[in-house]
Structure 1
Amino acid sequence: MDATDSVGAAGRHPLRVTLSVWYALLLRESLTRLFSRRAAWAWLMAEPLFHIAYMLAIFTGIRAYKMGGVDVAIWLITGMCAFFMFRRVASQGQNAISANQALFSYRQVLPVDTVIVRALLEGVLMLLVTCVLLAGAALFGHDVVPDEPLLVIGAAFGLWLIGLGWGLITSVLCGLVAEVGNLIGFLMLLSGAIMPINSIPQPYRDYLILNPLVHGIDAVRLGFAPYYHAIPELSLPLLYAWALGMLALGLILQVHYRERLMHQ
């Protein structure tokens, strides 16, 4: 029997089955994410806005109006939104398998499907949130049009991929070592989202620039303002090397522990 006969005997092509599963999961996750709690959709906007507002208040209080040669408001908005692109994708992916355990009774639904769908949804939602925040900044007279939009898109996509990779890895590891899930809380301080990496003294700065989030966030800021004083070591290839490595490791773990994840 050839491959065509096998597909016909099974009913539908595996790719069509996978896309149907993703579509159904996306509808389910969208309703849960936006309407499971009162004003859940508002929290999507309020969380990054709160972080930006209190950090802006701190910088204004110490009379720091420029950061790396850029208006501090734009520096914070771009950096925090870039970090939240990673954080939300990573944290939602990390909890995707445990939150959808009941769905694995359907043989078409695999644990990796839930992580990927959550990552897609969070990426789209964070993109919308970023656009709204930038539009709000524009109303206050800030220049929010990126000078190098392709650089911004490339860096943001790299951060999304790292978030997906993190979700694939930790959704497996959290089932083995629950404390792994707490690591994401430390990454904001080490990513340059709220603290300029160029201000960190040596030798600690050399350690921090090994963090791929630093390169992604600085690349987003540089895309908005070409005169921004980015780290000299800025490297998108490093960002994508980390992303592809984490994706590969995450997929290997998902395949190896699939049965255990479905019945934990």
Structure 2
Amino acid sequence: MTVRVRTPFEVTWSVWRAMFLREALDRLFEARAAWMWLLVEPIAYIALHAFGLETFRINQVGGMAINMWIIAGFIGFLLWRRTWTQVLHGIDCNKAFFAYRQVKPFDAAIVRATLELLLMVPISVVIIALALGFGHGMTLSIQNPVWLPQDPLLVIVSLLGLWLLGLGLGLVTSVVMSFVREIDHVFKIIYLPLYYISGALLPLSLYVPTPYQRLVALNPVVDGLEMVRLGFWPEYHALRGVSLGYLYAWALGLLLLGLMLYKRFSRKLVMR
């Protein structure tokens, strides 16, 4: 009787599949109606800020209706932030599984990031469908309303860049946090300001003077969000200096650095 030896790819795939199912069950059914809160958070933030901006008679930004402007930016921001935080805590939440030699810290990171990407797809579809159902289009024009994203490919590529940026940042910061536990408090403090300095909920073009907008665009998240909005409405007047290439340069650079750190400290990450 011959015993079939599984290939490294088959072992890795089995590990990823098992961890994915566990993570999915935890995210969706860990608490009562946990799946609902994944949707409630973005809807609440979007509705609150759209109402606030419309109260101050801000109905459009750069030629794009304010509601869809917030939705396009917040979907991208939420994908980046949730991916980052899930990967950031991936090592701590899967310590017990590292007792199996087949399971590596990177497995937890890639599984959590992939789950977040797959969760954000239906969430984004529901949010956009709700906005369209309430009559919110890309522009304020009644004669020629535009309802759907005009450049879906640019939207997808920009969102993928933000996802890779979140994955790369999560890899780097998770290694740092494994050695300096207190840095997690710093991350919790900056979560809320990130909503605003990244231009997800408030228009940077309105409260950042024009000469300094190029400095704001040095934040790769800003570039990603502005490119998502350009995908929704190509005539949108984006901030100066934003670039899809800049976003991907940051994303791939952080991914490379994160993989190097995981390789260098693989044993220490498991033992800590």
**Pairwise TM-score range, normalised by the shorter structure:** over 0.9
Equivalent of 2:68 in 59, 63, 74:
74
- Aligned 1:54-93 pairs, distance under 5 A: 54-93=48-87
Partners of 2:217 and 2:240 within 8 A in 1:
no
Distance verdict in 2 for CA 1:119–1:225, change over 3 Å: same
1:138 to 2:132 alignment: yes
Q: What corresponds to 2:200 in structure 1?
A: 193
TM-score (norm 1): 0.93
Q: What corresponds to 2:143 in structure 1?
A: none
- CA distance in 2: counterparts of 1:256 and 1:9, whole angstroms: 34
Q: Which amino acid aligns with 1:249?
A: L
| Offset at residue 109 of structure 1 (A) | 0.3
- Partner of 2:76, secondary structure, is helix
1:215 to 2:209 alignment: no
- CA distance in 2: counterparts of 1:99 and 1:119, whole angstroms: 14
- Aligned 1:162-177 pairs, distance under 5 A: 162-177=165-180
- CA distance in 2: counterparts of 1:229 and 1:209, whole angstroms: 14
- Partner of 2:11, secondary structure, is helix
Distance verdict in 2 for CA 1:34–1:209, change over 3 Å: same
1:44 to 2:32 alignment: no
Q: What corresponds to 2:235 in structure 1?
A: 227
- CA distance in 2: counterparts of 1:174 and 1:107, whole angstroms: 23
Percent identical residues: 46
CA RMSD, aligned part only?
Answer: 1.6
| Offset at residue 94 of structure 1 (A) | 0.4
| Offset at residue 231 of structure 1 (A) | 1.6
Q: Which amino acid aligns with 1:84?
A: L
TM-score (norm 2): 0.90
| Offset at residue 9 of structure 1 (A) | 9.3
- Aligned 1:99-178 pairs, distance under 5 A: 99-143=93-137, 144-178=147-181
| Offset at residue 63 of structure 1 (A) | 1.3
- CA distance in 1: counterparts of 2:267 and 2:95, whole angstroms: 12
Distance verdict in 2 for CA 1:227–1:202, change over 3 Å: closer
| Offset at residue 263 of structure 1 (A) | 1.2
| Offset at residue 163 of structure 1 (A) | 0.6
- CA distance in 2: counterparts of 1:101 and 1:10, whole angstroms: 30
- Aligned 1:244-255 pairs, distance under 5 A: 244-255=252-263
